[in-house]
Amino acid sequence: MSDDFLFAEDEDEEIIEELGSWKILIVDDEPEVHAVTKLALNDFILDDKCLEFVSVYSGEEAKSYFRQHNDVAVVLLDVVMETDEAGLDVAEYIREQLHNHFTRIILRTGQPGQAPEREVIINYDINDYKSKTELTAQKLFTVMIAALRSYRDIMVIEESRAGLEKIINASADLFSIRSVEQFMRGIIQQLTSIMGFSQHAAYITSAVAAPKPVTHAQPDELYVFAGNGEYAGQEGQPLSKALPAEAYVLCRQALEEKRIIFADDYIVAYCSGKTFQGSLLYLSGVPGKLTQANVRLLNMFAKNVQLAFDNVLLSQQFESTKNEINQLRQAENNDKK
């Protein structure tokens, strides 16, 4: 018999590309509960996001954590800790004092008689109530799926609301550069929230539309006009400084070839226009694969947003010209007097 060993070839495992994590806060005075919960949900994935666990062991610790962090998706909250109603106090504090209506609150208790379910559900703004003895690994998995989907949908609605608010506020005075910038930021925020995978986006155009004065501008240079996430506050920055070198090259390519380019973790979309050169939408932190719905939405944005932007700029130029004419007429009338 040969001493050589033959091994079966390894099959390529499907690699799940994670796009971040859901933050789960475990509030319980029993360390074993923390360990069991993490073990039961160890391989949990939803929307390509894993779970990030944070453990605290008392109601007061939970209140302190919520005062400093507003990104908790779900809190698994014990009722009886340092006091018989410590968990209920935390739930009330989250909703009434911090006005946090986004985090999903799941109460867990080992003593159901201490806090009757009917009374708790009616009197407190919680999302679920479970006895620790009935909460098996499978039930915990199901509860977590439902809670996170609810949180996800609420956050999409909130992002859309915030984006729409920017658009409405800007619509009152679209002739000012600042309002045009706010208008574009609102549209970008709406787009990214609906697509659901990126909060970092920039709308890029030529110096003619830059919201901040650009000194020594190059005729063919591009500038950040409006941005969200890590690009917020970079308005007026040359694109070559705002983006990595590789991304800048692809932006130039997208502009020259007038198309959408999909890279590993970002997208550059050419936005065609009739009057001006055209603009770009840059999205970072995107997944490797997009759904057909997201691709259609992105194409729709690219085809229409620049047309709206062109119309706003033309109206702005018309208003500026009209003001200059009025000033000249006023000056002539003053000279005649």
Question: CATH no. for residue 83?
Answer: 3.40.50.2300
211 alpha carbon, distance to own chain's centre: 24
Can you list the pairs that 244-252 forms with residues at least 24 positions away whose Cβ atoms lie under 8 Å? 247/282, 247/284, 251/204, 251/222, 251/280, 251/282
Same domain, 134 and 95: yes
Q: Tokens 């690994």 sit at which residue?
A: 137
Q: Establish if 317 belongs to a structural domain.
A: yes
Which pLDDT belongs to residue 54? 97
Q: Establish if 281 belongs to a structural domain.
A: yes
- CB count, 10 Å around CB of 74? 24
Same domain, 140 and 258: no
Which pLDDT belongs to residue 216? 43
Q: Establish if 130 belongs to a structural domain.
A: yes
What's the token pair of residue 280? 């770009």
Same domain, 256 and 128: no
Which pLDDT belongs to residue 282? 84
Instruction: Write out the chain's pLDDT in tens, 337 residues.
Output: 444 433 334 444 444 444 578 999 999 999 999 999 999 999 999 988 899 999 999 999 999 999 999 999 999 999 999 998 899 999 999 999 999 999 999 999 887 656 677 778 888 889 999 888 888 899 999 999 999 999 988 987 887 777 666 655 555 554 455 566 777 777 777 777 766 666 677 777 764 444 443 444 454 678 888 787 888 878 788 888 888 888 888 888 888 888 888 887 788 888 776 655 568 888 887 765 676 767 777 787 777 776 666 666 666 667 667 777 877 777 777 776 6
Q: Establish if 158 belongs to a structural domain.
A: no
The pTM is what? 0.58
Q: Establish if 160 belongs to a structural domain.
A: no
Same domain, 248 and 305: yes
Same domain, 197 and 321: yes
Query: Using CA atoms, how far apart are residues 184 and 318, in angstroms rounded to an integer?
Result: 20
Q: Establish if 162 belongs to a structural domain.
A: no
Same domain, 122 and 177: no
- Supply the range of the domain harboring residue 280: 172-326
Same domain, 105 and 229: no
Q: Is 189 exposed, middle or buried (0-12, 13-18, 19+ CB in 10 A)?
A: buried
Is residue 56 a contact partner of residue 62, using CB atoms and an 8 Å limit?
yes
Same domain, 196 and 319: yes
Is residue 27 a contact partner of residue 87, using CB atoms and an 8 Å limit?
yes
Query: Using CA atoms, how far apart are residues 268 and 134, in angstroms rounded to an integer?
Result: 50
Backbone angles phi, psi at 34, to 5 degrees: -60, -45
Burial 95-117 (b: 16+ CB within 10 A, else e): beeeeeebbbbbbbbeebeebee
Would you mind telling me the total number of residues written for the chain in this entry?
337
Q: Establish if 293 belongs to a structural domain.
A: yes
Q: Establish if 12 belongs to a structural domain.
A: no
Same domain, 189 and 234: yes
Same domain, 219 and 312: yes
CA distances from 21 to 74, 127, 189, 217, 324 (A): 12, 21, 21, 41, 54
Domain final residue pick, 152, 183, 216? 152
CA distances from 185 to 169, 224, 225, 243, 303 (A): 11, 11, 9, 18, 17
Q: What is the CATH number of the domain that holds 208?
A: 3.30.450.40
Number of domains in the chain: 2
Same domain, 114 and 237: no
Residues whose CB is less than 8 angstroms from the CB of residue 195 and which lie 6 or more positions away in sequence, other chains included: 294, 297, 298
Which pLDDT belongs to residue 231? 82
Which pLDDT belongs to residue 176? 53
CA distances from 36 to 30, 39, 132, 140 (A): 10, 5, 11, 11
